[in-house]
Structure 1
Amino acid sequence: MGISETPDGLGEASLSLWQEVQGTFELGPGETALLVEACRTVDELEAMGLALAAGPALVQGSTGQPKASPLFAEARAHRLVLGKLLEQMALPDEGEDVGRTPNQERASKAANVRWDLERRRRGTA
């Protein structure tokens, strides 16, 4: 397997992700770029987690009211981004030769729902 050069400045968790994916899969340039961004996102999530642990969970809002730290929303957004990046890489699951893209996954689920409805309509489910 060809391992791309490890990006500079990766944290412990993102370095582990990089090594695991690079050691398991042969990635094309686009997938490698997505992996770099996923690793950076993991590092950002870790930094936010440390900041949340060290700082207050509640901060003062614009009118003096207590509100949740904006880092909670940012961390949630980063988790969504990380999920999308990993999904876009379309890495195969265990036992698969080729991973499916998000569009292929959605199409497969939709087809399964249609077939399930058809089986129920016919009384064969």
Structure 2
Amino acid sequence: MAHLNVAAGQSTAPVTPVPDGLDESGTRLWEAVAGPFELDVHEQLILLQACRTADLLDRLARRAEGAELTVFNAKGEQVTAPWITEHRQQSLVLARLLASLRMPSGEEDERPQRRGAARGSYGVRSVAS
């Protein structure tokens, strides 16, 4: 199997071993990404965080299984259960981490997504008199 550099593509490299401490989803994600792609150190760190987030999502999903979707807070108000809110937030984190890896879409001729830097501050628009 050829290994591709996520950012530049085309160079061959050994497979990076699965880090210790990952559960099933994290291990599967690591193998799916680090297996076919050569990752720079910063990309490995992003992937590791994505794998840990995937494992956390599994734990939160298990916690939510069969549980009520709402709980009563200290004021006695019925609110969304904290594990549901955290699951939603971690899902967003996972999506952003994976997007930041700029993985190719699957077609070999296609280049990885190119994302510009964060937008700068917005300037003041001039007002015509």
TM-score, length-scaled by structure 1: 0.75
Q: For 1:40-119, what aligned pairs fall within 5 Å after superposition?
A: 40-95=52-107, 96-103=109-116
Please, which runs of 5 or more residues in structure 1 have no aligned partner?
105-125
Q: Deviations over 1:17-76 (max 9, x none)?
A: 111111221111111111100000001110101111153322112221222201111111
Contact 1:89 1:101 in 2 (8 A): no
TM-score, length-scaled by structure 2: 0.72
CA apart distance, 1:16: 0.8
Question: What residue identity is the alignment partner of 2:111?
Answer: V
Contact 1:58 1:67 in 2 (8 A): yes
Of stretches 39-48 and 16-25 in structure 1, the one that deviates more from structure 2 is 16-25
Q: 1: distance between equivalents of 2:42 and 2:89?
A: 23
Contact 2:25 2:54 in 1 (8 A): yes
Contact 1:87 1:102 in 2 (8 A): no
Cα-Cα RMSD: 1.9
Of stretches 21-30 and 55-64 in structure 1, the one that deviates more from structure 2 is 55-64
Higher helix proportion (structure 1 or 2)? 1
Q: 1: distance between equivalents of 2:68 and 2:39?
A: 41
Contact 2:16 2:35 in 1 (8 A): no
- How many pairs are equivalent? 105
